Structures are given as structure tokens and as C-alpha cells.
Structure 1
Amino acid sequence: MELIKNQHINYFFEPAKSENKKGNIIFIHGFNALPSYFYLVSDYFIEYDCYFICLPGHGYTKVVNEKDLNPISFADAIINLIHELDLKKFYLLGHSLGGAIACMLAEALITRVEKLIVVCPFFYGFNKKILGAYALLPWFARKHPDKALKKIYFDYRNNFITHPKTRPEITPSSQNKEKYLWKLLLNMGFSSETHKRLKYAQSNLIVPTLLINSKNDQLIDYKTAAKKLAKTKDLQIYTFYKSGHIPFVEEPDLFSKVVLDYLNDRLVEQTQNEEVEESEGDFIEQEANE
């Protein structure tokens, strides 16, 4: 997969491998992650041109100004990229921090975004679980790998071992990466400007939206995330019960099925609920202001 460098923000591009191309998907990764963790499900989306955004401060996109280490600046950079690529229509899929950024993009580019998919998204306001994101900072993760992995995975030991595809052998290095991530985390947690912009975006979503969350997420409270997006005009929610913060790593087959069914306007059948231990997920459809 080719890394394409751009004046606004770098990205990996994987063209559709099907003659019947169905559209474009823009993937946006989360805090202290790399686009590579999406590769575990990328083979399911061969009918789409896939753009994997590389957020500044994470290794693949150079930080020009440290003042731009915030979700608003990231969103603005992606908007500029979209205009430069002249993408008239596309789908958005954002995870965690990327989910928050995707909400800003969907609010700003209403006529271009066909559908929005947010996975365990960072949201405006107080989230007591997000304080645990310090465990994802490189210095802490190196010293306490088990604690960091428990914040990410439901079955953390198994998933750390069995999914090497999500961790490339050659990881981009950055002398200031830890400083950059710390600045970004502080902005996410305490910037009134960031939370104001995010609140406006997440309270005024008009595009069809699928919220994918996890009951066992240790970083994002899944019930609060649903409440924050409750005003969305056309909102559907799918909850995983056997995944942590990254369901597309722990349950890639089920995750991909849910997303593809949603993109193709197929009914996403209820396959699990909280009461049935052996089942695998649940699906809820919400109308605005219910």
C-alpha cells in the first residue's frame, strides 16, 4: 500500500479491486494509533477506493506547528485534502479520536458525506474513562504493557499475539512523538474550543450515521456516546459485547459484516444482546429525539 504525501496531511491509498466500484471510504485512526490497524479488515472493502488518513504527531505526517495538534486542526487538514482530491461523494469511518474528527467532517461537508460510521468515538464533555488514555502514551505502555493492552482489548492477551497485521514491522519514528501525543491528549481532555466544536458537530449530525460501540470499552463509555449522538437525524447503533475499544481487531468478520450491510442498505440483523451470553452483538435503530 502506497503512502502518499500531501501538503495538508499524508495518507495511504488502496484502490478498489473490483470493476464495480461502489465509492470511496475515508478511514481515520484514533489516538496513538496508526492506519495499519484498519488493514485487518481492508480486504473486506475491495469494492471501494480506500483512503487511510495519517494524523499528525503519530509518525507518518510531519508536525509543522505544535499549535495544530488538536482535533479541529486535524479536521481542517482533512477537509483541505478532500477538496484537493475533488472527492464529491464518500463514506467516513472514524475510530475513537478519528470518530470525533469524522463527526466534524460530516457536519462541515454535509452534501459530500453519504454515510458516517463512528467506532467507539471520543465525544464532547466529561468522560471519566478517557482519563485512562494515559496508559496509551508510549512511555507508559513500554513500562506497563499489560495495563495498556487491558485498556484496548477485551481479550487482550490473545489479541496482542494473534493480530500482527495491525502492527507493521517498521513503525515510523519521531523524536518528539511522546511530546506530541501528550499535547494532543491534553487538548482532547481540556480544550474548551475543541469540546465546543465537537459538541456542535455531534449535536447537529444530519447525514445517516452508524454508531458502533463496545460494552466492555475501557476508554469510551458506550452509553454516554449514544446519548451524545441521540439528536442525529438518522442514527443506528450496533453494540459489541465481546470486544474492547477496537472491535474491528477483536471481531473483524462481524465488524465488517455490520459495516458492509450498513453501506449497502441491508438490514443488520440482531445477533447478540446483553442478556444472551453466547450471542455476539445487538442492533438498535433510533429516530431523532426519541
Structure 2
Amino acid sequence: MLLNFEFQKSAEPQSKPTIVLIHGLFGSLSNLGMIARVLELEYSVLQLDVRNHGKSAHDKDMNYTVMAQDVIETLDHLNIEQFSVIGHSMGGKIAMKLTELAPKRLQNLIVLDMCPFAYQENHHDSIFKALFAVEQANVASRKEAYEIMQNFLKEEMVIQFLLKGFNKGRWLFNVQFIFDHYADIIGWQALKLWSKRTLFIRGGQSPYISKDEHIEAIDQQFDHVELETIENAGHWLHAEQPEQVIIIIKNYLNKNQ
């Protein structure tokens, strides 16, 4: 599937490899915009809407193999051979899957608050209830959607994040297809050991890389790992502490070119 994208090509004559930014569940390409705007000063930057999100097409198939293949198809369409990737949450798992599907093309891998692990916890039950309730109410405005979502969700930041995907009375992401494949999204099939360097950045208050089994999963699938922690940040660490995240990303890229 050719994905919806925004591609800012570097004006640098000796351009460094393109950096691909992949958003997380219920997001869109704008979610990593603050990172994109900084990196565009030195790199060509490709921002993507993954399938069933943003302006990309909807499809009933949704697993990490097809989502990673979508990224490769879009790169091929743009004639991009070598690339680095930054992925957040679900986008981090898509990014990690690229180590198997495009090992010779992938240069640098940066994963934001996600590990290669089959999570058992359902972190999105209340979110799905809120999203389906808005759909069933058939409301047209964000204000009306907001009032419905408050019955299910207490975190203001989460509500505002989700409402970015509400446009003209409908969700831009396909709630039903995502719900149908939620087990695939939180699940994971272990990768072959990746020998290139990989950076994981976690939120100090996030549960996604917080247990010994999470660290073990990373070590079993990635050979050369750097793990950085952003204190006073949760799962949306790039929105909560953008300057710290960007400094870590830039330092990592600069020493691994």
C-alpha cells in the first residue's frame, strides 16, 4: 500500500540518509512534527500516515509485516534506498519489523517508548469505548465528541490527542479495523538478532519499557543497544519533553553517521 506522506527533501548537497518518522496507534504523521521540523535542517525527512490512519487508505489487514511493507513500498515510490527510522509506540514496532524486511537499507533505528514484546495488558479498552461511543452518536463537532469522551476518559491529554483524528464528524483512523486487530498490535513475533546499533528512548513514567522482561526482550533481539530514559515523561515523551528527546536523537545520529 502506498501511504499518505509528507516529504521534505534536504537542500544539503551531500544529503545524509532520509529519516522516516512513524507515528503510533490512533495517530497521524503530524504527531512527530516537532522532531521533523528540527531534523529537516540537516536531513531529508519522510513523515507517514500508516494504514487505517490519517489520510492513508483503510484495509482490513493490519499486522506488522504488512505495515512495514507499506513503508517499503512508499520508500520505493520515492526512490529512497538508504534510510533511518524513528518510530513511536506502534510505529516503533513497525520500525523494528523493518530490520527483517529491509536490513541492508535500514541505517539507524530509533524507537520511542516501545519494546519488541507481546504485551498482555490492554491499555486501550476505555479509548475504544470512547471512540465507538462517538461513532454511534453520529456527532459532527469536536465539542460534542469531547463531551462524550469525557464519560470514558479522564486524561485531558489523551482526549485532545485522539480528537486530532476527528474531522467533519468522523474518525480519520478506522476504529473497527484497529479494534479487530488489537491483539496483533499489542502482540509481537520475535525478530532475528539485529546487529546494527539501535537507540531506545523510554518515558520514565511509562509502563512500556519498565520491567525486566521488557529489557530481556530488547537484549534478545538487538545486539548493540543504547537505552535512554526521559524522566518526568510518560508514553508521549516526545510531546511532554520534546527538547530532551530531540537532543538525544540528534546526538545519537551525529555519532552514528
TM-score (norm 2): 0.79
User: Is 2:194 the partner of 1:205?
Assistant: yes
The offset of 1:132, in angstroms, is: 1.4
Partner amino acid, structure 2, of 1:37: N
In structure 2, runs of 5+ residues without a counterpart are: 135-145
Of 97, 112, 126, the match for 1:135 = 126
Q: Deviations over 1:227-271 (max 9, x none)?
A: 2111312110001121111111011111100000000018xxxxx
Looking at structure 2, the residues matched to 179 and 45 of structure 1 have their Cα atoms a distance apart, in angstroms, of 34
Partner amino acid, structure 2, of 1:13: F
Q: Which segments of structure 1 move beyond 6 Å, counting only runs of 4 or more?
A: none
Partner amino acid, structure 1, of 2:175: E
Distance 1:261 1:189, change over 3 A: closer
1:9-24 correspondence to structure 2 within 5 Å = 9-16=3-10, 18=12, 21-24=15-18
Contact 2:153–2:159 (CA<8 Å) still a contact in 1? no
* Paired positions, count: 238
For residue 9 of structure 1, give the secondary structure of its aligned residue in structure 2: coil
Which deviates further from its counterpart, 178-187 or 241-250? 178-187
For residue 206 of structure 1, give the secondary structure of its aligned residue in structure 2: strand
In structure 1, runs of 5+ residues without a counterpart are: 1-6, 151-155, 267-290
Of 24, 33, 39, the match for 1:30 = 24
Q: Deviations over 1:151-176 (max 9, x none)?
A: xxxxx66x988x9xx94895894588
Q: Percent of aligned pairs with the same residue? A: 18
Contact 1:36–1:167 (CA<8 Å) still a contact in 2? no
For residue 230 of structure 1, give the secondary structure of its aligned residue in structure 2: helix
Tell me what 2:206 maps to.
217
Distance 1:172 1:214, change over 3 A: farther
Tell me what 1:56 maps to.
51
Looking at structure 2, the residues matched to 148 and 211 of structure 1 have their Cα atoms a distance apart, in angstroms, of 29
Of 245, 248, 251, the match for 2:235 = 245
For residue 55 of structure 2, give the secondary structure of its aligned residue in structure 1: coil
1:118-133 correspondence to structure 2 within 5 Å = 118-121=111-114, 123-128=116-121, 131-133=122-124
Distance 1:254 1:145, change over 3 A: farther
Give the superposed CA RMSD. Answer: 3.1
For residue 233 of structure 2, give the secondary structure of its aligned residue in structure 1: coil
For residue 98 of structure 1, give the secondary structure of its aligned residue in structure 2: helix
The offset of 1:226, in angstroms, is: 2.6
1:252-263 correspondence to structure 2 within 5 Å = 252-263=242-253
Partner amino acid, structure 2, of 1:51: L
For residue 245 of structure 2, give the secondary structure of its aligned residue in structure 1: helix
For residue 222 of structure 1, give the secondary structure of its aligned residue in structure 2: coil
Tell me what 2:64 maps to.
71
Looking at structure 1, the residues matched to 235 and 108 of structure 2 have their Cα atoms a distance apart, in angstroms, of 22
Partner amino acid, structure 2, of 1:77: D
Distance 1:149 1:233, change over 3 A: farther
Partner amino acid, structure 2, of 1:251: Q
